[in-house]
């Protein structure tokens, strides 16, 4: 074998070995249930589990602390951090709010007609909750009271995100968009071959959506999507 070929093979082995070792590192927990959601802000990381409630890490996942005091439904479908306030959406127990970094939680369901909270999002002082059966609800008082904002919107919400001047809702029927805090909604599915939407991720000027058939990207606030 020629020297040049040997060097090339060696370099490929080294590069591939380095890539393989830098992908994922298992964290020290949390243990007790499947992880259904995350939320992070500054040095705080929250993990929501199926049946074991909320876990909190403040040391870059070196350790986790279970923080469930006051939470009566421990299957956590969604988490969100707004300033110093933590929000947890549960599977039948509604929304719980903590203002002391998870040391205690208070049930905040006044106005919610569905207590299955699949998604949470924040825009300034406005908090949005996406439910499994009754669409999206809006709170302007930090979750103390909620009002439905479902005109022309599908009722089963799987994901919510705020990007720029728009609020996006992911449903079984695709993506809905609102530019008036949910007062009205428009379906924006152009190019979206798989309309069952499960997740959003904004990144710079792009919005990514996770569907039942793969990932799509929009660079024009949902006007069109590419696989």
Domain 30-148 class, CATH top level: mainly beta
Residuewise pLDDT in 10s, the chain (227 residues): 444 444 444 434 444 544 445 688 888 889 888 999 999 998 899 999 999 999 999 998 999 999 999 999 999 999 999 999 999 999 999 999 999 999 999 999 999 999 999 999 999 999 999 999 999 999 999 999 999 998 888 889 999 999 999 999 999 999 999 999 999 999 999 999 999 999 999 999 999 999 999 999 999 999 999 99
127 near 137, Cβ under 8 Å? Answer: no
Q: Does domain 158-227 have CATH number 3.30.70.330?
A: no
Which pair of structure tokens corresponds to residue 36? 């259904």
How much is the pTM?
0.87
The C-alpha atoms of residue 115 and residue 89 are separated, in whole angstroms, by 8
Q: What is the largest CA-CA distance in the chain?
A: 75
Which pair of structure tokens corresponds to residue 57? 């890490």
> Domain spans of the chain?
30-148, 158-227
């Amino acid at each position: 074998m020629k020297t040049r070929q040997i060097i090339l093979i060696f370099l490929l082995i080294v590069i591939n070995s380095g890539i393989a070792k830098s992908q994922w590192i298992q964290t020290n927990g949390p243990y007790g249930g499947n992880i259904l959601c995350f939320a992070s802000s500054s040095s705080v990381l929250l993990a929501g589990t199926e049946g074991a409630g909320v876990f909190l890490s403040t040391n870059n996942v070196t350790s986790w602390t279970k923080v469930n005091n006051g939470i009566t439904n421990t299957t956590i479908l969604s988490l969100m951090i707004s300033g110093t306030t933590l929000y947890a959406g549960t599977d039948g127990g509604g929304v719980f709010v903590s203002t002391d970094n998870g040391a205690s939680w208070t049930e905040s369901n006044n106005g919610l007609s569905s207590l299955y909270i699949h998604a949470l999002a924040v825009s300034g002082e406005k908090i949005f909750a996406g439910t499994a059966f009754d669409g999206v609800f809006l709170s302007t008082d930090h979750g103390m009271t909620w009002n439905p904002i479902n005109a022309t919107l599908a009722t089963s919400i799987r994901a919510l995100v705020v990007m720029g001047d728009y609020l996006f809702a992911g449903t079984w029927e695709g993506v809905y968009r609102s530019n008036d805090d949910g007062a009205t909604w428009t379906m924006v599915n152009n190019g979206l071959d798989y309309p069952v939407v499960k997740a959003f991720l904004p990144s710079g000027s792009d919005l990514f959506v996770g569907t039942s058939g793969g990932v799509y990207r929009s660079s024009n606030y949902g006007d069109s999507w590419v696989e």
